[in-house]
Amino acid sequence: MRAKSTPRRGQTIILFTLALVPLLGIMGLVVDVGWAHFRREAAQTAADSAAMAAALAAYQAANGGSMLCGTPHIVCYASEYSCPAIISSPPSDNVQAGCMYARDNGFVTAGKQKVTFQSGIGSAPTSPGVTMSYWVIVRVSEDIPQLFSAALGHPTATVSARATTGARDGTSGGCVITLNPTAGGSLSMTGTTLLKSGCGVFVNSNSPQAITAVGGGTILTTGNAKTQIVGNWSGGGTISPAPQVGVPYMGDPMADLAPPPVGPCDSTVPNMGSQGSATISPGVYCSGISLGSHQSLTLKPGVYIIKNGIDLGAQTTLTGDGVTIYLQSGGVTMSGGATVGLNAPSSGPWQGVLFFQDRADATASTLVGGTGQSMNGALYFPAAHLTYTGGSSTTATATTIIADTLNMVGNSYISASANTLFTGNSGGVSLIE
């Protein structure tokens, strides 16, 4: 017997057809959104690379010095400048170099794409609180076709991206630098402490209390030197001239400094007895260096590798010319009455490097000697907290202090940066936004 016919099959076809329309619409919308996201990411990559390239080209054209509008191969555009469709090779100036990088990342000013530049000195319009030696703004846009939106009367959509970079000249870094990116009191000063610097101060912390100066603490920079802070400062102290705040992160100018090779233990400090003195040679001192009251130690020129730290008691004396002290483990402890006179090498691979505490060693160090303390060279404590005083003498030293965080005690007078192969690298290029 033949089965009766049913309308269900027809209903299924109708329901499927009705569901197909929104399903295809959703698929089209997904494609539209996904494609727009992909092209926006591509535009951002092009903007970032173009802005970095233009700022770097300006920095290189100035040889790390002042980047002035009109300097050969450095141009400034207060209004938006559109990159040409065809770019000469090699590029004629730094902005053309940026246009070339945008082109190499798939974006030119032609058809449905547009690439524009602004550039200048001081604060970029997009980042009014950030002061740079030279800034660059790049805007990239593209009109892309739509599928689902086309049915609603929107056949194209515009994706866009923006990047702002800044170049910092090599004189705007500083010879007192803290590296910690977030610490409050990254540089702290208490009491009547005075830090007088002819080569600037730079604090990489973004904390609103990155520098704390309380109880009369004073930072005084002279000449063209500046105090620059990624975050801000607080306290009842004084910073003169007023600091630049909200500047881009600088980083570690000595990041490329490699530690010396460490061989087997081969040296120890001789037993000097009460109030004794000795002269030692470069080597690997696995038992550290420890001086008791009134003992005196002289270091011959060379590299000293110290394990288990250095401890200088009251009324001790440590001197040496042409020396580099690498602390593989342990820090430095100096009592207030210690007399220290140390000078870094004036040439060779360790030129200007006096102290280098290993990057894996976070042991706090204290360089607080007596009134005659003098340390000329780079004091590099990248992972550690450092407490420092330059003694009471107003004779300025050529010193660079780089530490994770820093506490200044007493008065310090620094005339210039230590002359190393690395500490001149405080300039460079930063992506601001």
pLDDT tens readout for residues 126-145: 887 677 788 999 999 999 88
Clarify whether residues 38 and 123 are in a common domain: yes
- Residue found by looking up tokens 């469709």 in the block: 85
Clarify whether residues 299 and 382 are in a common domain: yes
105 domain residue, yes or no: yes
> pLDDT per residue over 267-285, tens digit each?
999 988 888 999 999 999 9
Q: Which of 94-98, 191-195, 427-431 has the highest mean pLDDT?
A: 94-98
Q: How many domains does the chain have?
A: 2
Is the pLDDT at 396 greater than 60? The verdict is no
Q: What is the pLDDT of residue 274?
A: 83
Clarify whether residues 347 and 426 are in a common domain: yes
Q: For 130-146, give the DSSP string.
A: -EEEEEEEEEEEEEEE-
Q: What is the mean pLDDT of residues 194-220?
A: 90
Is the pLDDT at 167 greater than 70? The verdict is yes
- At 1, the pLDDT band (50, 70, 90 cuts) reads very low
- Residue found by looking up tokens 């309308």 in the block: 7
Q: How far apart are CA 276 and CA 333, in angstroms?
A: 20
Q: Are 320 and 344 in contact (CB under 8 A)?
A: no
Among 148, 168, 188, give the residue marking a domain's end.
168
5 domain residue, yes or no: no
Q: What is the pLDDT of residue 337?
A: 78
Q: What is the mean pLDDT of residues 173-201?
A: 89
3 domain residue, yes or no: no
Q: How far apart are CA 423 and CA 373, in angstroms?
A: 22
Q: Are 115 and 140 in contact (CB under 8 A)?
A: yes
Q: What is the mean pLDDT of residues 403-425?
A: 82
Structural domain span for residue 71: 13-168
Clarify whether residues 29 and 58 are in a common domain: yes
6 domain residue, yes or no: no
Clarify whether residues 52 and 109 are in a common domain: yes
- At 222, the pLDDT band (50, 70, 90 cuts) reads confident
Among 115, 137, 168, give the residue marking a domain's end.
168
Residues contacting 421, CB < 8 A, separation 6+:
257, 349, 351, 352
Clarify whether residues 385 and 269 are in a common domain: yes
Buried b (16+ CB within 10 A) or exposed e, 277-295: eeebebbbbbebbbbbebb
State the chain's mean pLDDT as an integer: 86
Clarify whether residues 306 and 277 are in a common domain: yes
Clarify whether residues 296 and 321 are in a common domain: yes
Residues contacting 297, CB < 8 A, separation 6+:
269, 272, 277, 278, 279, 280, 289, 291, 316, 317, 318, 319
**How far separated are the first and last CA of the chain, in Å rounded?**
79
CA dist 141 → 34, 138, 223 (Å): 17, 10, 44
CA angle 252, 258, 259 (to 5 degrees): 115
> pLDDT per residue over 38-96, tens digit each?
999 999 999 999 999 999 899 888 876 778 898 899 999 999 999 998 888 899 999 99
48 domain residue, yes or no: yes
- At 368, the pLDDT band (50, 70, 90 cuts) reads confident
Is the pLDDT at 233 greater than 60? The verdict is yes
Clarify whether residues 114 and 214 are in a common domain: no
- At 302, the pLDDT band (50, 70, 90 cuts) reads very high
2 domain residue, yes or no: no
- At 190, the pLDDT band (50, 70, 90 cuts) reads confident
DSSP class of residue 106 equals T
Clarify whether residues 181 and 90 are in a common domain: no
Length of the chain: 433
142 domain residue, yes or no: yes
CA dist 24 → 29, 149, 387 (Å): 9, 12, 68
Q: How far apart are CA 163 and CA 84, in angstroms?
A: 19
Clarify whether residues 159 and 132 are in a common domain: yes
Q: What is the pLDDT of residue 315?
A: 87
4 domain residue, yes or no: no
- At 15, the pLDDT band (50, 70, 90 cuts) reads low
Clarify whether residues 194 and 161 are in a common domain: no
Please give the residue that has the higher pLDDT: either 369 or 216: 216
Among 128, 144, 168, give the residue marking a domain's end.
168
